[in-house]
Amino acid sequence: MEIQETAIPLQQINDEITTKHGVRLFVLRLDLNHPYISGNKLFKLKYNLEEAKQQGKDTLLTFGGAFSNHIAATAAAGKEYEFKTIGIIRGEEHKELNPTLKFAVDCGMQLIYVSREDYKNKYVPPFLNLQTNKFSNYYLIPEGGSNELGIEGCKEITKNINIDFDVVCCPCGTGATLTGIILSLTNQQIAIGFQVLKGENYIKNEVNSWLEKFNIPKKSNFYIEESFHFGGYAKVTPQLKQFIKGFEKENNIPLDYVYTGKMMFGIYDMMERGGFEKGKTIVAIHTGGLQGNAGFNINETTE
């Protein structure tokens, strides 16, 4: 089984800031790699879908929040590749579905709502068994598609960068996508992860934990920027909104408010502070997630 994807554009950004600081900045448009299973989710799901087929499973069972890109992508993948899909959703059920959950249901996904407190125990055997015992012949994909097979898929992201580059930037929620990217780099290249949630050393520790699972010693070709979460996961500010609107207007590249918007803001802030040497080539990974913009304002903050 092979997921069909379209060619991924690499779009150069030429503006006053990049010219001023003498860097070349490109955006790898993973948001355009598939109509519905887009962004990094396609890479995370690729080998999980193959494994589910190989095991003879007919159902994909996974987890996510009400605006989860992963839930939407898994539902779309199930419809396209003939799997039944079940989504265990964090939070209360609402009679009127938001656009993400409506899309998932339209793709055939069965939704099961659990309290936020119970959701914290989603991988603890008693709770997990209570949910999964209702179903048979399912393949379990963790939240966000973040497992070893997801990382194997993400190692292929940089194959789509058809230029020589020095730095690759990626927004991070779990660290799995960044881990795959790190494992694909040469010794001369560096990865910067932009942490989109609060938590000192959270992504750094997650990446190092993933590397241990691959029996890879701690690597020094990456670091994490923790200053651009804008108050926490799915939090936005007027400053972030203004930046995203201006960036889209100037470059015709839409950004999401949870991941790529924060990363691009961070890249521009770093350029202005002299964080990149003159002459360096930077590639920013657009991980998709645009469907989630429908719910960004529910967590607006002024922090």
Averaged pLDDT, groups of 10, the chain, 303 residues long = 73 97 98 91 97 97 93 96 96 90 96 91 79 85 95 97 97 96 95 96 95 84 96 94 97 96 98 97 94 55 43
Query: How far, in Å, CA of 131 to CA of 39, rounded?
Result: 29
Query: How far, in Å, CA of 287 to CA of 194, rounded?
Result: 12
- Mark out the alpha helices in the chain (DSSP H runs): 16-21, 40-54, 69-80, 99-106, 116-119, 125-132, 148-154, 176-184, 202-213, 238-251, 260-272
What does pTM read for this prediction? 0.92
Which pLDDT value is given to residue 303?
A: 42
Exposure of 206 in the CB half-sphere (CA atoms within 13 A) = 22
Which pLDDT value is given to residue 103?
A: 95
Query: How far, in Å, CA of 8 to CA of 11, rounded?
Result: 10
CATH, range 40-145: 3.40.50.1100
Q: In the chain, where does the domain assigned CATH 3.40.50.1100 lie?
A: 10-36+148-299, 40-145
Query: How far, in Å, CA of 57 to CA of 6, rounded?
Result: 27
Q: What is the 3-state secondary structure (H, E, C) of 226-242?
A: CCCCCCCCCCECHHHHH
Query: How far, in Å, CA of 217 to CA of 215, rounded?
Result: 6
- What are the Cα distances from residue 175, in Å, to 172, 202, 260, 295? 5, 9, 14, 23
The CATH topology of domain 10-36+148-299 is Rossmann fold (3.40.50)
Per-residue tokens: 136: 């048979």
Which pLDDT value is given to residue 299?
A: 47
Nearest to 47 by CA among 174, 152, 133, 173: 152
Surface-to-core class of residue 70, CB atoms within 10 Å of its CB (0-12 exposed, 13-18 middle, 19+ buried): buried
Which pLDDT value is given to residue 294?
A: 58
Nearest to 173 by CA among 115, 240, 224, 222: 224
Phi, psi (degrees; rounded to nearest 5) at 177? -60, -45
